[in-house]
Amino acid sequence: MANMDFDVIVIGAGPGGYHAAIRAGQLGLKTAIVEREKVGGVCLNVGCIPTKAMLHAAEVMMETKHAGEFGLNFAETTLDIAKLNGWKDGIVNRLTGGVSGLLKANKVTVLSGQASFVDEHTVEVDGQRHTASHFIIATGSEPAKLPGVEVDQEVIVDSTGALVMPDPVPARMLCIGGGVIGFEFAQVYNNLGSEVKIIEFMPNVIPGADADAVAEFTKIMKKQGISIETQTKANRAERKADGVHVEIEDVKSGEKRTEVFDRVLVAIGRRPRTDGLNADKAGVAVTDRGFIPADKQQRTNVPHIFSIGDVAGNPMLAHKAMKEGLVAAEVIAGKPSEQDAVAIPGVVYTNPELAWVGLTEAEAVDKGYKIKKGVFPMAASGRAMTLQQTGGFIKMIVEEDTDLVLGVHIVGPRASDLLGEAGLALEMAATASDIALTIHAHPTLGEGVLEAAEAVHKQAIHIVNR
187 and 72 in a single domain? The answer is no
11 and 108 in a single domain? The answer is yes
Answer whether residue 464 is part of any domain.
no
* Rounded average pLDDT per 10-residue block, the chain, 466 residues: 89 98 98 96 96 96 91 89 96 97 98 97 97 98 97 97 95 98 98 97 97 98 98 98 97 97 98 96 97 98 98 97 98 96 97 98 98 98 96 98 98 97 97 98 98 98 94
Is 57 annotated in a binding site? The answer is no
For 399, the 3-state DSSP assignment is strand
264 and 277 in a single domain? The answer is no
Is 319 annotated in a binding site? The answer is yes
Is 193 annotated in a binding site? The answer is no
**CA dist., res. 202 & res. 207, Å (int):** 9
pLDDT of residue 41: 95
Q: What's the structural domain count of the chain?
A: 3
Is 316 annotated in a binding site? The answer is yes
Nearest to 45 by CA among 81, 97, 84: 97
235 and 127 in a single domain? The answer is no
228 and 302 in a single domain? The answer is no
253 and 310 in a single domain? The answer is no
**CATH code where residue 392 lies:** 3.30.390.30
> How many other C-beta atoms are found inside a 10 Å radius of the C-beta of residue 107?
14
177 and 163 in a single domain? The answer is yes
Answer whether residue 462 is part of any domain.
no
**CATH code where residue 107 lies:** 3.50.50.60
12 and 135 in a single domain? The answer is yes
Answer whether residue 221 is part of any domain.
yes
Nearest to 422 by CA among 338, 465, 359: 359
Backbone phi, then psi, for 118, in 5-degree steps? -100, -40
Give the predicted TM-score (pTM) of the model: 0.96
> Final residue of a domain: which of 268, 285, 303?
268
> Final residue of a domain: which of 307, 333, 359?
333
The HSE-up count of residue 343 (CA atoms within 13 Å, CB side) is 27
226 and 84 in a single domain? The answer is no
260 and 354 in a single domain? The answer is no
Is 184 annotated in a binding site? The answer is yes
pLDDT of residue 2: 63
Answer whether residue 242 is part of any domain.
yes
Is 317 annotated in a binding site? The answer is yes
Answer whether residue 338 is part of any domain.
no
> How many other C-beta atoms are found inside a 10 Å radius of the C-beta of residue 168?
12
Going through 36-167 in order, the beta strands assigned E by DSSP cover 108-112, 115-119, 122-125, 128-137, 141-143, 156-157
Nearest to 24 by CA among 113, 184, 135: 135
Is 245 annotated in a binding site? The answer is no
Going through 171-214 in order, the beta strands assigned E by DSSP cover 172-176, 195-200
**CA dist., res. 272 & res. 309, Å (int):** 9
Answer whether residue 1 is part of any domain.
no
Answer whether residue 339 is part of any domain.
no
Is 177 annotated in a binding site? The answer is yes
Start-to-end Cα distance in the chain: 65
pLDDT of residue 3: 86
Give the residue numbers marked as catalytic. 442
> Final residue of a domain: which of 268, 286, 309?
268
Answer whether residue 463 is part of any domain.
no
405 and 367 in a single domain? The answer is yes
Backbone phi, then psi, for 261, in 5-degree steps? -135, 160
409 is in which domain, residue-wise? 346-457
Going through 262-382 in order, the beta strands assigned E by DSSP cover 263-266, 270-272, 305-307, 346-348, 353-358, 371-377
For 257, the 3-state DSSP assignment is strand
40 and 58 in a single domain? The answer is yes
DSSP state letter for 13: -
pLDDT of residue 75: 83
DSSP state letter for 149: B
